Structures are given as structure tokens and as C-alpha cells.
Amino acid sequence: MSDTIKYLLPEERIPKAWYNIAADLPKPLAPVLHPGTGQPIGPDDLAPLFPMALIGQEVSTEREIEIPEPVRDVYKLWRPSPLYRARRLEKALDTPAKIYYKYEGVSPSGSHKPNTAVAQAFYNKEEGTKRLSTETGAGQWGSSLAFAGSLFGLPVEVYMVKISYNQKPYRRALMEAYGARCVASPSDETESGRAILAEHPDSNGSLGIAISEAVEVAAKNDDTKYSLGSVLNHVLMHQTVIGIEALEQMEMAGDQPDIIIGCAGGGSNFAGLTFPFIGRQLRQGGNMRIIAVEPAACPTLTMGTFAYDFGDTAHLTPLVKMHTLGSTFVPDGIHAGGLRYHGMSPIVSHLLELGLIEASAQHQTGCFEAGIKFARNEGIIPAPESTHAVKQAIDEALKCKAEGVGKTILFNLSGHGHFDMQAYTDYFAGKLEDHAHNQADLDKALSQLPGVAAE
Ligand SMILES: *Cc1c(COP(=O)(O)O)cnc(C)c1O
């Protein structure tokens, strides 16, 4: 028997439907509000930005939504993704816990993000969209949408957060290799970008600013639609292929998780792995602990307020009720660029409010240390974002050791770090600091919340 066991499903077992957790929520989500009127928005309000099929999925309460055959065909390029038992890591930690991880780094762009990028490109193509605009933080989403756009013949424009544009030139090259155009944000190509540059000429950018630019381009051009890589209900739903496969793979392994862990930026990979398990727990009972892990420098779930807020900095998006640090909050330039967002998916926020999940914040140096421990035992270099899940899994395994209990831990390894080696270089050079969030900045950003009545 090999030390590391891979639980692989045959290709035919790629899920035929996504799972929609809205069908099983004990309390419905708060409505999305129009930024001008404060009234719940309808499909027509979103039509300039998204194709109707995705708007329908955004508000659907059907438990299962069929995955179109052309999307499943593309999924076959890398799905089903493997589930591994991390036996060498268990041994290194000398823990009685069993540690499993689902590995999403096997996709063409190296993360979970193509699971939704391919679906979004497909529906846009079907409805006649001629061009997609989007934002990207670390470059994972931009390269995933660029890949998906190339398969369906859709040009993609990517507004990339400036600090990442400078730190991650190879991500940019990857987007260009797939045929996308990549612009450093804030840019002088949009009103939102120019407004930021006028006030802060040296702005490092943020996801909130880049979203404003990409939304503006879609709103002003009839043939262009906007695509978002996280946060929205339909995006989280597309990611549930991860958890649906994992449910079956855990059965193959003859185990059931006691603890499930995912890192959380906007919440999509966390949702993708955990929602099918949470749904089963809501329908059939159970006492699994589900933990979302975020960076201490951008502690949306653990320090943010649950309130209506804008998704972007220029306040072009609808108002959604979520955990937020305030749309004007710009986190420090930590290396996990994909986790530097001021908000959190409304569904993940809602689940935390209902006590159905937990949240934890981790500092970056501890995360890199955990990522390196993982690499030296399991071989895979985790993306900086994914190291947050690795760190939490190791913490939980060490807790099991201290308590002498052998729990089963499952975490999502959302991507590999091959394009993020500069971050590891900086870590080895002792250049990474643990930024706590800046409380004064946070208080200021929260004082600027739009102030819509909570319910
Ligand atoms: C984008 C990204 C994340 C964070 O986004 P979520 O929507 O919270 O999943 C995490 N890990 C990797 C590898 C990413 O690319």
C-alpha cells in the first residue's frame, strides 16, 4: 500500500448538476438592494452586467441545477480532481487525526476558479455576449477567465490590482498567452480609475477598485458583460462540483469528515467544498465543524460588520448584506492577493450569522510556514491563499494530538503556488511581516457604510 492514497473518480462521475444551498437554508437570504432606490432589485437591473441564465441562477431556490454538456466536456480536461490522504503530513505532525485534502491545483490555471469561469463564458457565449470584462487580484481569476474565454471564443479584458500586476508578471503573461488584455488598476481607462488616481496617484489598487473599473466597462458597452470570480450566489454554486465529488471520494475512502476547512477571500472555494456537506448536514443532521479561514490582515468574517454594503469602491454595484470591512477599506499588501477583499459572499456571511459555520483568522508567516511543511511532506507547493487552509488543518490536527482524539479533517487545497514563488522567496528572506489590520482605517471604513436598515 502506498503512503499517499489518491481517491480518483472515473470521468463519468463528474457531477451532472451543481448544488444550490438556497434550497436548504433554514432562513432565506436578505434581498439584494438597488443602490439608488434602496428597494430589492429585479432581473432587469442586472441585465446590463450578466446573461439571463446566470441572473436566474443567482436567485434560484432549486436544489439542483443541471450542468450543460459543453461545460461538463471542458471540466473533463482536469475533473474529477483528486482527493488525497496526507499520510506523510500526519506522520510528521505525529497526530492521531486523519488529514484529507481535495486538490484543485490540477486545473489549467492552477486553482478552483475555472469551475465557474468555464460556466460563465459558456452562458455568455450562448446569449450573444461579444466581450467580457473582469477584475483580478493575484491573477488567478483573470487567468481562469482568460482560459475559459479562449475556449469559447470570447475576448477578455482584465483589470488587475496594481500591486499584483507588479508582483506577479508571470500571471499577466499567462493571461496574455490565453489571449486576454490585462490592465493595471487603478487605470486611466475608466472614470472610476481616474477618480482614484486623482486622489491617490500611488494607489496599489484593491479588488474593490478593480471591480468598479470592470463593472463600468460592462455598464457602458452593450456588447460587453461583466464576470465575477467569487462572492455571488451563482459563482459559489458552480464551485460545488468540488464538494459533490468529495462526498463520493470520502465514501470511497471509507471515512467521513468531522472538520471541513477552506480558505475564504470572497468565499467561493470554501463554499465549493463545504456546501454539499453542509446541505447534507441540514437535511440529515450531523455535527461536523465547518471552518472558513481568512488572513488576519483582512479579517472580514472575524472583525467585519454584518451589514448592507457595496461590492466595490466606486459604489456602482447593488447593495448586498454581508460581512464587510467597509468598501473603502484597503488591506495591506499581503501575498495572499486572492484573500484581500473587503466583503464576503452573502451566503457564507449568512451561514456564519446562523451559527452553521465558524471563522478563523491566520497571520501570513504562520501560513507560509505551514505551506512549506506541507510541501516538504506532500510535495505540492500551496498557493499563498491555500496555505491559510493548510495552517488551520495543521492547527486542528495538533489539537487532536494534544487531546488524544483522532478526528478526520478535510480541507480544500484551492491551488498551487507555482506563480507565487516570489512570495516564498520573500518569506525565506525574512521579508514577510504579520500585519494586523489597521483599526483606525477599519473604523473609518465602517463609519462610511451606506446605513441601510439591517432588516
Ligand atoms: C482566488 C483564490 C482564493 C480566494 O477566493 P475564494 O473565492 O474565497 O475561493 C483562494 N485560493 C486560490 C488558489 C485562489 O485563486
The whole-number average pLDDT for the span 386-393 is 98
Determine whether the shortest distance from the Cβ of 268 to ligand 1 is under 6 A: yes
Confidence check: pLDDT of 366 > 50: yes
Nearest ligand 1 atom to alpha carbon 140: 15
Q: Which of 81, 102, 112, 164 to mutate to test the pocket of ligand 1 (most atoms within 8 A of CB)?
A: 112
DSSP, collapsed to helix, strand or coil, labels residue 398 as: helix
pLDDT above 80 (res 334): no
What would the mean pLDDT of 147-170 be, rounded to a whole number? 94
Ligand 1: which of 164, 323, 345, 414 to mutate, most ligand atoms within 8 Å of CB? 414
Q: What are phi and psi of 103, to 5 degrees?
A: -110, 110
Taking the centre of ligand 1 as the mean of its atom positions, its distance from the CA of residue 405, in whole angstroms, is 31
Look at residue 1 in the predicted model and tell me its pLDDT.
44
Q: Judge whether 260 and 289 are in contact, CB under 8 Å.
A: yes
107 lines ligand 1 (CB under 6 A): no
User: What spacing in Å lies between the alpha carbon of 301 and ligand 1's midpoint?
Assistant: 15
Grid cell digits, residue 426? 520573500
CA within 13 Å, CB half, 192: 25
How much is the pLDDT for 276? 98
How far, in Å, is the centroid of ligand 1 from the Cα of 402? 31
- Percent of the chain residues past pLDDT 70, beyond the cut: 98
Distance 364 CA to ligand 1 centre (A): 15
Q: Cα separation of 186 and 160, whole Å?
A: 8
User: In this predicted model, what pLDDT tens digit does every residue of 214-248 receive, in sequence order?
Assistant: 999 999 999 999 999 999 999 999 999 999 999 99
Section 40-47 average pLDDT: 92
Quote the crossing angle between the two packed helices 140-152 and 169-177, to the nearest 10°: 10
Of 57-71, 161-175, 276-290, 362-376, give the lowest mean pLDDT range.
Answer: 161-175
The verdict on the CB of residue 113 being under 6 Å from ligand 1 is yes
Asked if the model's pLDDT at residue 312 lies above 90, the reply is no
Q: What is the mean pLDDT of the chain?
A: 94
Set of cell numbers at residue 53: 441564465
Q: From CA 54, how far away is CA 18, in angstroms rounded?
A: 13
Displacement of CA 385 from its chain's centroid (Å): 9
Q: How far is the CA of 264 from the centre of ligand 1 (A)?
A: 7
CB 318, CB 33: distance < 8 Å = yes
Contact 368, 254 (CB under 8 A): no
pTM value?
0.96
Q: 48 alpha carbon to ligand 1 midpoint, in Å?
A: 26
The verdict on the CB of residue 412 being under 6 Å from ligand 1 is: no
- Partners of 416 in the β-ladder: 382
| 65 φ/ψ angles, rounded to the nearest 5 degrees | -125, 125
CA distance 145 to 114: 7
- Residue 315 has what pLDDT? 86
Q: For residues 134 and 159, is the Cβ–Cβ distance under 8 A?
A: yes
Q: Is the pLDDT of residue 320 over 80?
A: yes
Looking at residue 382, its pLDDT comes to 98
Distance CA 100, CA 22 (A): 27
Classify residue 452 as exposed, middle or buried by CB count within 10 Å of its CB (0-12, 13-18, 19+): middle
Mean local confidence (pLDDT), 108-115? 98
pLDDT at 4: 60
Q: Indicate if ligand 1 lies below 6 Å from the C-beta of 109.
A: no
The letter for the amino acid at 413 is L
Tell me, in angstroms, the distance from the centre of ligand 1 to residue 403's CA: 32
Secondary-structure breakdown of the chain: helix, strand, coil percentages, each rounded to the nearest 5: 45, 15, 40
- Which residues pair with residue 382 across a beta bridge? 416
The least confident of 76-85, 123-132, 170-179, 432-441 is: 432-441
Placement of cell 460587453 in the chain? 224
What integer is the mean pLDDT of 265-282? 97
Q: Is the CB of 230 under 6 A from ligand 1?
A: yes
Query: 339 C-alpha vs ligand 1 centroid, how far in Å?
Result: 7
Q: Which atom of ligand 1 is nearest to the CA of 267?
A: 8
Q: Is the CB of 149 under 6 A from ligand 1?
A: no
For residue 291, the model assigns a pLDDT of 98
Share above pLDDT 90 across residues of the chain, in percent, rounded to a whole number: 83
Cβ pair 341, 230 in contact under 8 A: yes
Architecture of domain 3-11+68-110+234-447: 3-Layer(aba) Sandwich (3.40)
Distance 36 CA to ligand 1 centre (A): 31
Confidence of residue 453 (pLDDT cuts 50, 70, 90): low
Query: Is the per-residue pLDDT at 401 higher than 60?
Result: yes
Domain parsing of the chain, residue ranges: 3-11+68-110+234-447
DSSP code string of 188-245: SSSHHHHHHHHH-TT----HHHHHHHHHHHHHH-TTEEE--SSSSHHHHHHTTHHHHH
The amino acid sitting at 93 is L
pLDDT of amino acid 295: 94
Which pLDDT band, with edges at 50, 70 and 90, does 282 fall under?
A: very high
Q: Which of 339, 352, 420 to mutate to test the pocket of ligand 1 (most atoms within 8 A of CB)?
A: 339
Closest protein CA for atom 10 of ligand 1: 385
More confident position, 379 or 164: 379
